[in-house]
Amino acid sequence: MLSSIARNSVAASGRVVATKLATRSLAHTPSFHVNTPDNTPEQYFDFTEENYGRVKSILSKYPANYKQSGIIPLLDLAQRQNGGWLPVAAMDKVAQITGVKPSRVYEVASFYTMFNRQKVGKYFIQLCGTTPCMINGSEDIKQTIEKHLGIKNGETTEDGLFTLLEVECLGACANAPMIQMNDDYYECLTPATMIELLEACKAGNPPKMGKWGSLPMNGQVSCEGPLGKTSLFETPAPPKVDPDRFKDGNVDPASVKEHMAY
Ligand code: FES
């Protein structure tokens, strides 16, 4: 629930404004915006020309009267353009492009944890601390990171390279303990391989993902068992989607499920 200060700030102007609250650590990011020197609604944000091509492509996936469906991919694009975090000026730009009130975009950005509304380091480490990772040594991994980088949970190194944040399950429990660094998963970690990974990042050369889009740091290919078998015996069929579903432009909400091939 928003604090009374935040509620008043939103109600008074219809948009998020500065409050005098101190910025809290990233682990407890408030659901309301707090102005900081590098993050105010008055600052300038616009997509690059190249990204405007992507904006066009994203919006073309939705009917003209459902532009707001593009809010999440557009926020993601803005965050990537802005070095991994999402200033309020970028949210305002997305609101302008999708034709909605800024508060509609703020409520999306503050709901999904994939959006970082405070500045993060070049390598944003999200460390899973949920039960399977915890019983497989995530606390050791956390202490290793904290000691090696000289930061605590929720903090960023002075050189702006690393931010550490403990999070809940990231869905790679079979290869616990693990971290997500920016878009990538590093799994089956030990304190030694964690340090190896941090040093590789400092050298600007983080290890590439493995064949299946993650990197178990113990030599596994994926989350195979000791015999290397998987549970799939054939390639699953792709979902059926009609590629011409929006060719006529607007879609009647009454038939939207049909158009989406549900
Ligand atoms: S418990 Fe760590 S990924 Fe699920």
What was the pLDDT predicted at 49?
98
The answer to whether the CB of 18 falls within 8 A of the CB of 40 is yes
* Position in ligand 1 atom list of the atom nearest CA 132: 1
Mutate to test the pocket of ligand 1, among 133, 140, 141, 186 (most ligand atoms within 8 A of CB): 133
Q: How far is the CA of 245 from the centre of ligand 1 (A)?
A: 38
**Ligand 1 mean position to 110 CA, how many Å?**
23
Mean pLDDT along residues 230-250: 74
pLDDT tens digits for range 24-79: 345 456 777 888 898 999 999 999 999 999 999 999 999 999 999 999 999 999 99
pLDDT at 249 over 80: no
Question: Which structural domains are found in the chain, ordered by start?
Answer: 4-111 (1.10.10.1590), 123-216 (3.40.30.10)
* pLDDT range class, residue 159, cuts 50, 70, 90: very high
43 touches 87 (CB < 8 A): yes
**pTM > 0.85: yes or no:** no
Rounded to whole angstroms, the Cα distance separating 32 from 9 reads: 9
How much distance in Å is there from the Cα of 150 to the middle of ligand 1? 25
Is 188 one of the annotated binding-site residues? no
Confidence class for position 260, pLDDT limits 50, 70, 90: low
- On average, the pLDDT of the chain sits at 85
Please tell me whether 223 is known to bind a ligand: no
Pair 129, 142: CB distance under 8 Å: yes
Write out residues with Cβ below 6 Å of ligand 1: 128, 130-133, 169-173, 176, 178
SS3 call for 252: coil
Q: Is the pLDDT of residue 19 over 60?
A: no
- Model confidence at 229, pLDDT cuts 50, 70, 90, reads low
Q: pLDDT: is 243 or 106 the higher one?
A: 106
pLDDT for residue 129 is more than 70: yes
Model confidence band, residue 224 (pLDDT cutoffs 50, 70, 90): confident
CA gyration radius, the chain: 21
Buried b or exposed e, range 146-166, using 16+ CB within 10 angstroms: eeebebebbbbbeeeebbbbb
Q: What local confidence, expressed as pLDDT, does residue 231 receive?
A: 75
User: Ligand 1 centroid vs 125 CA: distance in angstroms?
Assistant: 14
Dihedral sign computed on CA atoms, order 105, 109, 110, 111: positive
Across 66-80, 106-120, 230-244, least confident range: 230-244
Q: Does residue 1 carry a pLDDT above 60?
A: no
Is 173's pLDDT higher than 80? yes
Residue 74 and residue 56 in contact, taking contact as beta carbons nearer than 8 Å: no
User: Higher model confidence: residue 251 or residue 37?
Assistant: 37
The answer on whether 201 is annotated among ligand-binding residues is no
pLDDT of residue 169: 96
